[in-house]
Amino acid sequence: MATAAETRPRTVDRAGPVRPDRRRPAGLTFYLMLVPSLVLFTLAITVPAVMGITLSFTDSIGFGEFEWVGLTNYVAMFSDPAILGSYGFTILFALVTVLLVNVVAFLLAVGLTARIRAKITLRAVFVLPMVISGIVIAYVFNFLFSNSLPQLGQTLGVAALEQSLLADPDLAWLTIVFVTAWQAIPSALLIYIAGILSIPNEVYEAASMDGASPGRRLVSITLPLVAGYVLINLVIGFKNFLNAYDIIVGLTNGGPGTATRSVAMTIFSGFTGGDYAYQMANATIFFLIAVVLAVTQLRLTRGRSAF
């Protein structure tokens, strides 16, 4: 005869058996990899940053004795036309460039993911500018804008092209936008290609069966499904373009006058011009702007399936 314990219905533990924590403690290899990197990062990044922020509250010229001046450098920044002009140029340049880069890159990605011949070869060709140094690209286009294009303008009788565009304060910044976009489009293009290829073909086939035109499929299917990729390209691109330096140096060196001087150029010029502490205050504000953009990027991209 079965006992009461044997006839009692068995309960099933829905949570499952309790498994012991199998995480292993960090071994010697982990610390051998971590500690040197941490030391190098601290010495090369953290310590100089802390020293620079500290010296921004002084009148230091980069060496020798100094005195504490408090917030004087920061207050003076907001009434300095050179610094305000550099921020205005940099923000306008970054906004125009990031829009141009993403529009062109997205349209190219749509074309290079369509059913066309030699699309793999074309992708490789369009990606080439990404692997060339920015300063090399700038010097090549400097020669084109300063010599080849004016000669072409004289030959064709086009007065607007007879003078170097780099010498025109109203047009020089457009040349910087063009050259920067030419180099930056490939990286955005690769992200958009990855996004478009991740869309199932069944979605497009269903839309075609419902009679949707190619333009309708682009607006109603492709754009919404790659929205995460668009957002990532916009935020990363804008943050990168704010740090523009090498292409501007190679094209205009901040000229004509200071018409195309970026924030990064203004900061670096102060380091060698006796305004070390003043430009360190500028660099601190610029660093805070970069931090805000980085945090914004993390918040906007968190939870999205772009990668």
- What is the pLDDT at residue 162? 82
pLDDT averaged over consecutive 10-residue blocks of the chain (307 residues)? 50 50 67 88 89 90 85 90 92 94 92 79 80 89 90 85 86 93 92 89 85 84 88 88 91 89 89 84 91 80 54
- To 5 degrees, how large is the angle CA 132–CA 138–CA 141? 105
CA-to-CA dists, residue 120 to 40, 88, 126, angstroms: 41, 40, 10
Question: Before 256, cis peptide (omega within 30)?
Answer: yes
- What is the pLDDT at residue 204? 84
* Structure token pair of residue 101: 């880069």
In sequence order, the β-bridge partners of residue 126 are none
pLDDT tens sequence across 280-301: 999 999 999 888 888 887 777 6
* Structure token pair of residue 269: 């010029």
The pTM assigned to this predicted structure is 0.80
Q: What single DSSP character describes residue 29? A: H
Nearest partner of 99 among 195, 194, 177, judged by Cα: 177
Radius of gyration of the CA atoms of the chain, in A = 28
Determine the CATH number of domain 80-270+292-301: 1.10.3720.10
CA-to-CA dists, residue 83 to 112, 168, 202, 264, 303, angstroms: 42, 21, 53, 10, 38
Q: What single DSSP character describes residue 188? A: H
Alpha helix (H) residue ranges in the chain? 4-7, 28-41, 47-55, 72-77, 81-112, 119-127, 134-143, 149-156, 172-197, 201-209, 214-217, 223-225, 227-242, 246-251, 263-271, 276-301
Report the 10 Å Cβ neighbour count for 104.
16
By CB atoms closer than 10 A (0-12, 13-18, 19+), residue 13 is: exposed
* Structure token pair of residue 46: 């953290």
pLDDT tens sequence across 238-272: 989 999 899 999 999 988 888 899 999 998 888 77
**Is residue 275 within 8 Å of residue 103, measured between CB atoms?**
no
- What is the pLDDT at residue 236? 87
By CB atoms closer than 10 A (0-12, 13-18, 19+), residue 165 is: buried
Q: Which sequence spans correspond to the domains of the chain?
A: 80-270+292-301
* Structure token pair of residue 75: 């207050």
Query: How many angstroms separate the CA atoms of 86 and 91, rounded?
Result: 9
Q: What count of Cα atoms within 13 Å lies in the side-chain half-sphere of residue 237?
A: 29
- Chain centroid offset of residue 111 CA: 24
Give the relative orientation of helices 81-112 and 263-271 as an angle to the nearest 10 degrees.
130
- What is the pLDDT at residue 306? 44
